Amino acid sequence: MIKVPLKVPNHSYDIYIGQKILGESNYLEKFLGSDAIIILSNTTVASLHLNTLKENLNTERCFEYILPDGESEKNLKQFEAISTFMLQNKLDRRTVLIALGGGVVGDLGGFVAACYQRGIRYIQVPTTLLAQVDSSVGGKTAINHSLGKNMIGAFHQPSLVLSDTSLLETLPEREFISGIAEVIKYGLIKDYLFFEWLEKNIEHIMSRSPEALATVIRKSCENKRDVVSEDEKERGIRAILNLGHTFGHAIEKLTNYGSWLHGEAVAVGICMASRLSRDQGLISDESYSRIESILKKANLPTRAPTECSPDRMIEIMQGDKKSSNKEINLVLLREIGDAFLTRDYSDALLKQILDSGREA
Ligand SMILES: NC(=O)c1ccc[n+]([C@@H]2O[C@H](COP(=O)([O-])OP(=O)(O)OC[C@H]3O[C@@H](n4cnc5c(N)ncnc54)[C@H](O)[C@@H]3O)[C@@H](O)[C@H]2O)c1
């Protein structure tokens, strides 16, 4: 079992990573004591993994709230329904919420925990690769509003993150691959050696070798931990975690959050940000080729769909949380392993890259 400790002002917690740790360890129980527990999950994940979690909880007051599957459940209506369920069952402020699922369950569960009676403890048990390497760590919680994704949220750190790599065995291939985009991101933004390791080990990762996955999750969590510890509330450096995301969010929006998975859109965004970095004279041609090549080896897309016209992409990117007064701030690369947030690029070049970065 690997332990990655995380410390932010006024709070610290551990991320545990390992094979079959959900079913074989008893520290969850030790952690929970005799307080009431509410497990939040969805129908897909609950049918596969809820029993393994429950076998480990000897608490009498254990409640379950199982959501339908899908991003559309991360909404105000579900937020209210879960809160109502908790109030009806007289769950008090000592209750611990366990979010068992991918980023949707984790974000919604974290937001409920942030708000319920002004904040209760919660534990992340992430079950997708994306959630294990990214969304379960760092305390960003949110729900979607009809006018925008993740527009209502809070910073609320979990008390424990338990990443069991064996849970990924049941994850559909496309969801697994989508998570790899965020992994590659960590190498690109601040860890050249990890990027090199990913290049050498991409086949083992794709075959879901437990050893390779443990390293992938540990290195990703350590990198995210280092950024979040320095800038918990995203006032500066934390923005680099959004490499490729400003482009990616626009692709997701233009495709109506349906046909493209988050990581797929981010992969195209990483490609576009890297090309802009190259054409601005920041990174070499060779570095760009290495980035495109690893994305392709991971079977991730590198081109946006044709409907993502430069004008529509720019319009959406101007509304991004990092943009101000229609000025689009972008995370670019000075080199592989060195990212920064900037407005210092040519608008004409951006437009050209958006245009040439589409499927023919
Ligand atoms: N808070 C953050 O810092 C942060 C960061 C990145 C993304 N996010 C959010 O995360 C969400 C996306 O997360 P996601 O990609 O994990 O999607 P998801 O939670 O929708 O999970 C993807 C699919 O896989 C299924 N699934 C989950 N675990 C499984 C398992 N072990 N076996 C079989 N099926 C399984 C789910 O039921 C779902 O159908 C978005 O809402 C995004 O906004 C949050």
SS3 content of the chain, % helix, strand, coil (to 5): 50, 20, 30
Yes or no: say if 76 and 144 are a contact pair by the CB < 8 Å rule: no
Does 138 sit in the ligand 1 pocket, CB within 6 Å? Answer: yes
Question: What sections of the chain are H helices per DSSP?
Answer: 21-24, 27-32, 43-55, 76-88, 103-115, 129-130, 173-190, 192-206, 210-230, 245-254, 262-279, 285-297, 310-318, 347-356
Q: What is the 156 CA–ligand 1 centroid distance (Å)?
A: 18
Q: Whose CA is nearest to atom 11 of ligand 1?
A: 103
Residue range(s) of every CATH 1.20.1090.10 domain in the chain: 173-356
In short, whether 71's Cβ falls inside 6 Å of ligand 1 is yes
Note the pLDDT of residue 239.
95
Q: Is 158 in the pocket of ligand 1 (CB under 6 A)?
A: no
Q: pLDDT value at position 251?
A: 97
Counting as low any pLDDT under 70, the low residues of the chain are: 25-27, 30-31, 34
**Residue nearest atom 4 in ligand 1 by C-alpha distance:** 135
pLDDT in the model for residue 32:
72
Query: Residue 23's pLDDT is what?
Result: 82
**Given this model, what pLDDT does residue 59 score?**
75
- How far, in Å, are 30, 137, 159, 238, 311 from residue 123 at the CA level? 13, 11, 6, 22, 42
Distance 102 CA to ligand 1 centre (A): 3
Q: Which two tokens stand for residue 67?
A: 């959501």
Our answer on whether the CB atom of 124 is closer than 6 Å to any ligand 1 atom is no
The fold of the 173-356 domain, in CATH, is Dehydroquinate synthase-like, alpha domain (1.20.1090)
Pocket test for ligand 1, best of 127, 145, 170 (most atoms within 8 A of CB): 127
* CATH code 3.40.50.1970 region(s) in the chain: 2-169
pLDDT of residue 25: 59
Fold observed for domain 2-169 = Rossmann fold (3.40.50)
Q: Is residue 234 lining ligand 1, measured as CB closer than 6 Å? A: no
Q: Using DSSP, state whether 68 is helix, strand or coil.
A: coil
- Look at residues 176, 93, 179 and name the one whose alpha carbon lies nearest to residue 136: 179
